[in-house]
Amino acid sequence: MQTHPPTDLSYDAALAALEWMVELGVSAPVGDDPVNAYDLPDRLAMPERPATPAPAPSPARPVPVARMEDSVDVVAVARAAAAKAATLDDLREAIIGYEHCPLKQGARNTVFADGNPKARVMLIGEAPGRDEDLQGKPFVGRAGQLLDKMLAAVGLDRSAPDPNGSVYIANVLPWRPPGNRDPEPAEIAQMLPFLARHVELIDPDMIVLMGNTACAAALGKRGITRLRGTWTEAFGRPTLPTLHPANLFRAPANKRLVWEDLLALRARLNAPA
């Protein structure tokens, strides 16, 4: 995104403009016109060549991600890293250590999961938004607060100790896409091995997929308005697709549909094993 340098903004107006740009996902300042760094006044005074040779790059220096992507099978690397994770802590570390997803560079936090790891239900969302990126926890912003209220209506609470009355929550992507844009298919594909291992380690009795990105990752298809409300199978477990809570801000009439889905979830939890 290009921005123009303000000329006579007050402190408050400048701060509001900056907050607005951060909200939109701006992560680096870019001007309208290309700048030749060698024409800048402080560069003009520099000698053409440094008097002493530049120090060799330290071996510990990270290789830029863009170059690695050209020669590395990033999905295979993710698969190998995920397979090695024997515990949730291992998996969190494996995700934090995975350097092949460019989203990581723009994120403040890796958003791993929240809730009760012993819960019978695992909820899968899309990706962190601004609040989740800041706090490092999934579904803590507006959509998360609505989700908590809807879950409470069917006796589910992410912080409850009872496996029958709690949920575990994770996202397809652990890093916020800039400006909350939709995740790219390549980003979903490269993070999928981590999600699959996450499901294996939690070992839930049932899964709820919230929205199209979760369906794309877990079922390989989109079309949430058609898929929602019908039990299917993902990662070898009974799975219920439903609308993403953020959808309900745009289309409040859809709350009725999500309510139906939550009742179906509750009924399955209550059914004798």
Which pairs count as long-range contacts for 19-26, CB under 8 Å and 24+ apart, including other chains? 23/130, 24/179, 25/1, 25/106, 25/177, 25/178, 25/179, 25/180, 25/181, 26/1, 26/179
Asked if 156 and 208 count as a contact pair (C-beta separation under 8 A), the reply is no
Number of residues that bind ligand URA (CB under 6 A): 13
Our CB check for ligand URA shows the closer of 129 and 241 to be 129
Query: Which residue's CB atom is positioned nearest to ligand URA?
Result: 125
End-to-end CA distance of the chain: 54
Burial of 76 (0-12, 13-18, 19+ CB in 10 A): exposed
SS3 233: strand
Q: How far is the CB of 245 from ligand URA (least distance, A)?
A: 7
Instruction: By CB under 6 A, tell whether 139 contacts ligand URA.
Output: yes
Instruction: By CB under 6 A, tell whether 129 contacts ligand URA.
Output: yes
Instruction: By CB under 6 A, tell whether 148 contacts ligand URA.
Output: no
Using the structure block, give the residue that is written with the tokens 């899968």.
124
Count how many Cα atoms sit within 13 Å of the Cα of residue 148 in the half-sphere of its side chain: 13
Q: How far is the CB of 205 from ligand URA (least distance, A)?
A: 22
Q: Which of 115, 119, 120, 125 binds ligand URA (CB under 6 A)?
A: 125
Instruction: By CB under 6 A, tell whether 127 contacts ligand URA.
Output: yes
Our CB check for ligand URA shows the closer of 98 and 112 to be 112
Our CB check for ligand URA shows the closer of 90 and 131 to be 131
Cα Rg of the chain (Å, integer): 23
Instruction: By CB under 6 A, tell whether 242 contacts ligand URA.
Output: no
Letter string b/e over residues 127-154, b meaning 16 or more CB atoms within 10 A of that residue's CB? bbbbbbbebbbbbbbebbebbbebbeeb
Q: How far is the CB of 115 from ligand URA (least distance, A)?
A: 12
Q: How far is the CB of 149 from ligand URA (least distance, A)?
A: 15
Structure tokens at 48: 């053409």
Question: CA-CA distance, 75 to 82, in Å (whole number)?
Answer: 10
Our CB check for ligand URA shows the closer of 84 and 142 to be 142
Q: Which of 138, 177, 183, 204 binds ligand URA (CB under 6 A)?
A: 138
Instruction: By CB under 6 A, tell whether 112 contacts ligand URA.
Output: no
Instruction: By CB under 6 A, tell whether 126 contacts ligand URA.
Output: yes
Question: CA-CA distance, 190 to 104, in Å (whole number)?
Answer: 13
Binding to ligand URA, residues 157-196 (CB under 6 A): 171
Interface positions with ligand URA (CB under 6 A): 125-129, 132, 138-139, 141, 143-144, 171, 246
